[in-house]
Amino acid sequence: MLFDRLLARKPADPEVLYARGEVYRLRGDKDDLPRALDDLSRAAGAQKPPAETFRSLGLVQRQLGNAQAAAEAFDRYLALDPHAPDAGLLRSYLSDLKS
């Protein structure tokens, strides 16, 4: 996989970790959700991760039933990109998660 080769050269690259995590999240095969969570969490902990990392991390946490972690990730995403095209949808998710 291309991501593996890129990460072999630079293991903590937040862009590559985000991209691979997003592929796992969207693909949804067996064991992909934990893989997505791992990559997205690592990307989120890096310096200057893409804002979208937190949207995807929130979606994974929400799917896993981790309401508090999902809300924290969505809050961070919206703080980084308050005018994101999906901001309204994520605010709706936040409302549901925090009620």
The C-alpha atoms of residue 12 and residue 6 are separated, in whole angstroms, by: 10
- Cα separations in angstroms, 33 against 64, 84, 98: 8, 24, 23
Number of domains present in the structure of the chain: 1
Domain that holds residue 80: 2-98
pTM recorded for the entire structure: 0.91
pLDDT digits (tens, 9 = 90+) for 68-99: 999 999 999 999 999 999 999 999 999 999 88
CATH code, domain carrying 51: 1.25.40.10
pLDDT of residue 50: 96
pLDDT given for residue 92 in this prediction: 96
Enter the tokens of residue 22.
Answer: 């997003």
CB 93 within 8 A of CB 74: yes
